[in-house]
Every structure is written in C-alpha cells, then in structure tokens.
Amino acid sequence: MVHAAIDLHLDTEVALKTLHPAGVGDPAAREQLIEEARLTAKLDHPGIVPVHDLGEDEQGRMLERGAVFFTMKKVEGTTLADLLDKTRGSARSPKELFDQLQILLRVCDAVAFAHSRGVIHRDIKPANIMVGSFGQVHLMDWGVASVVGAQRGAAFAGTLPYMSPEQARGEAGCVDERSDVFSIGAVLYELLAGRPPYETGDSQSLRFKALMCQIADVRSIAAWRVPARLGAIAMKALSKDPAQRHPSVLALEGELEEFMRSGWQFPRRRFAKGERIVVESEPGSAAYVIVEGRCRAFKMVDGTAIELRTMGEGEVFGETAVFAEQPRTATVEAMDDVTVLEITKDFFADDEVVGYWMGRFVRALAERFCERDARAAELEQQLHKATSDPTSPRGA
C-alpha cells in the first residue's frame, strides 16, 4: 500500500509504502518489503524513484503497530497504461510514435542501470511506467525485483501477460536480464498493437498461453502499418527462447535508437538513372537523403554544366532551399537508379518530432553546402570573366 505523507524534517511530501494491515504479521511479506527498499536504494538513477528512509512504526502512531514502511520521492504523472488507452486501436502519427518510443528508451536506460547493479525488475508493464508532465519517466514498483540468479521468494512473480515464459514456469534461477528484455518487448508490442502479446483471460489461460502459444506477429494484428524494422525488434525481444532475444536491455535499446535514426518517418521516392530530382532555380520545399544509388549536383554556366559534387548513400541535398527559403542553387540528377528519403520543410520546423540530433545534423550539413555553393558562385564569376576577356586563350 502507498500513502501520501509529509516528511517533518524536510517539510516535503513523500510517498510512504507499507504492507496491507493483513500482512503486518507475515514475516515473508515483511522481509519482501524490506528487500524492496534495500534493492531500490542501491539504484541511484533519474528513472528510478529514490528511497529516503526505512523504518518501523513500533508505537502504531501512523500505521498498524509494528508495521514496516519506507518513504520515497513522491512522483506525479500519468501511467503509460493510461496514455496507451488514449491511442489504443488507432494509427500512430510520427509524433505520437516518436514520443512513445522516447518513453520506452528511458525505461530501457533505467532497467539497464539496474542490471549493471545485478538487479532484475521482473514486473515491467505500462501500469508501472510513470510519465510526468515535463517528460520525466520513472519505472515504478520494484516489489518483486531480485538479484540475478537469486532463488528468493515466490518463483512465480510478475504480471501476466508481460512476464517471460521462464517466469511463467516459476523458474526463479533462470530469470535474468533477458527476462526484463521480454517484458519490455511486451510493452513495445502493446504500444504498437493496442493490446498485450496475449489476449485477455483468467490467470490460468494467460499462463498457458505464455508457456505454450506462439505470439502473433505484431504487424499482422495492428490496426495500422507498423514499420517492419520496429515490428521485428518487438518480436525478437518476445522470443520464447531467451537465447533468441536481445542479449541485454542495452542491445534492445541500441536497436530502438538505430530505428529512430533510420528515417522511418519519411516517405521514400525512387528516380531512374538520368532523372532530375531537383532543378536549379526552381522553388524547393523538401530536402533529400540518399538511401541507395548515386547522384551528381551541377550548375549551368553559359550553357555548360559545371559539376559541383558526386553524392552517395547517406548524403543529404536540397536542404539549403528548405532552410533559406530560396530557389534551388543547383540541379541534382540520378547517376543510377536512386532511392531517397523526402523530408519536407514542415517536418524540420519541429525539433521535438525530428529529434534534436537530426535538427543539428541537418543544419550543420546546410552550413557546409552553403559554403560549397559560395565557392561555386566564385567559380562561376571566374569562368564568366575568362570567357568575356578577349585576351584569354578561350576568347582568342
């Protein structure tokens, strides 16, 4: 049970956690509460609520006489479960998906830190993820957490349908970092599909499904088009065999970060060899990132094409016109069959959606290309002077 309380020494609100009155005299429950406080106190991380004090109400002034309690920072916000209820069964906009994945990345960071201290959470689920009004993310309720390899307490611990098969089998000694990987995968699955990996039902049927049934591919049941790469990350984390999952939460976090850097938000366009993607002097409303193939950029000077650069996979062009609101300064033509990501001006206007890193990245490229365009303009002036000077070899 969790109560709001006042720390009289610090004159601040705290959360006070204690046992239900019926469990005050239960030695096992008492020991579990003490263990939760001690384990959580070892985890000094922004995504884990800090424990302030552990004590016993010997006189029964606030609680049942002899009740053990601990106090921790009071966290306010909305659970991820409540946030998912608002979008359940509907398509995600790029902004909604970006925001929800950012929450999951912060959960991964907190769990990875706990793992580095040898602590397994064992009960990761949307209801235990608290999101503050300023973007704070806390992973709550470490009541069934354990040390790696420990055999403590009830072996069957966690919440169906987010627990791993080894948890559902009650194999406490087999529970490790990959068990939390499974639970994070289950949260990701629900984020994408609008429901957990297993259909609702009583605990026995859910436990049977966790042990015996294969999980439906998230892309086959979602009400919207889940990006293939993201769906694959979720299904890998949910492998029944721990050896087939991500080997650690850090590895899962890394794949999610790579996905978010992959340009999944942007439409892809294909151009045939020789086709012009942007044309000099035309207005521009989009920038492009080359996914496959090569392009060349050139300017026309007195009817002659002056090549500026050749570009390949991963390079960006067209951003100068988008940021500067000026006509295209060069023509870009496909040298092979080319695939590009098209990024519109409106997308660049919102760093929260794009991600701060991409805004900085693209702006840096824009500055570099502006310098190149300045050099190209200088070359154009030199060529014009050379062709108009009657004493030059060309004018002779």
CB 68 within 8 A of CB 53: no
Report the alpha-carbon distance of residue 179 to residue 209 in Å, rounded: 17
CB 18 within 8 A of CB 65: no
Helix (H) or strand (E) holding 365: helix 356-388
Other Cβ atoms within 10 Å of 373 Cβ, number: 18
Query: Could you tell me the sign of the dihedral formed by the alpha carbons of 110, 111, 113, 114, in that order?
Result: positive
371: left (phi over 0), alpha (psi -120 to 50) or beta: alpha
CA-closest candidate to residue 145, choices 114, 106, 113: 114
Report the alpha-carbon distance of residue 353 to residue 193 in Å, rounded: 21
Residue 304 C-beta-side C-alpha neighbours within 13 Å: 9
Q: 123, 141, 180, 373: which one is catalytic?
A: 123
Asked if 7 is an active-site residue, the reply is no
Residue 169 C-beta-side C-alpha neighbours within 13 Å: 13
Cβ within 8 Å of residue 222, ≥6 positions away: 192, 193, 194, 231
Length of the chain: 396
Q: What angle do CA 23, 43, 19 make, to 5 degrees?
A: 10
Tokens of 241: 């065999």
Residues identified as active-site: 123
